[in-house]
Amino acid sequence: AQSVTQPDIHITVSEGASLELRCNYSYGATPYLFWYVQSPGQGLQLLLKYFSGDTLVQGIKGFEAEFKRSQSSFNLRKPSVHWSDAAEYFCAVGMDSSYKLIFGSGTRLLVRP
Amino acid sequence: GAVVSQHPSRVICKSGTSVKIECRSLDFQATTMFWYRQFPKKSLMLMATSNEGSKATYEQGVEKDKFLINHASLTLSTLTVTSAHPEDSSFYICSASTITGYEQYFGPGTRLTVT
């Protein structure tokens, strides 16, 4: 079955430290890949997306993600975290022509001052 | 660009009443709109997909007679929770996509509390 896994429920990093949030998917072909961020009580904001081409994609707010086909992964990274990055992060995958997205369970990022 | 609004942002209703939530794409035409439900500290659960002018497609386990979805125009979709009960209390989020497909733009969500 198609699925998206975010193995880390919570991650805590110090402000200024680097960040990597993991995302793995299960699908037979190359999916469409997204990372969204959600602040408490808010909707989702798109950080970045991968459809095809260069496997390292740049997004907003200094985030980037790398698609690794061999590992079925699309990990999100940021070299230096800011306190305002504290939020819930969702990886999402589009896998078929229905345009539906399957979301991972989310990773809550906490930032230590 | 690509702004999606939802109204209301919060609503409290009594058990047994119906509540309508609006989702609007403000600066683009939304070929497809999606309705999600999010439980506290949980991921988004897709409830249904709606295309303008046609009936919504509901996900397995979602009661279509309870969650009525209308997508009457390319900029407006509504979700009506009929005969609401406390277990329907949740955060409802809509999203909209254009004809190009996969990229979804999300609304800010509606917090529904049924007393």
Whole-angstrom distance, CA of residue B60 vs CA of residue B49: 12
With 80 as the cut, is the pLDDT of residue B21 above it?
Answer: yes
CB B30 within 8 A of CB B77: yes
State the pLDDT at residue B101: 66
**Chain A, chain B: beta-carbon pairs less than 8 Å apart:** 52
Q: How far apart are CA A97 and CA A80, in angstroms?
A: 37
Residue B52: pLDDT over 90: no
> Other CB atoms closer than 10 Å to residue A44's CB: what's the count?
27
In a mutational test of the B interface, the residue from A52, A90, A96, A103 whose CB has the highest number of chain B CBs within 10 Å is A103
Residue of chain A whose alpha carbon sits nearest to that of B57: A98
Query: Does residue B4 sit at the A interface (CB-CB below 8 Å)?
Result: yes
**Model confidence over A29-49: pLDDT tens digits?**
778 999 999 998 888 999 999
Cβ within 8 Å, pair B104-A41: no
Asked whether the predicted pLDDT for residue B99 surpasses 80, the reply is no
Torsion, Cα B80 B86 B90 B95, to 10 degrees, reads -10
The answer to whether residue A65 scores a pLDDT higher than 80 is yes
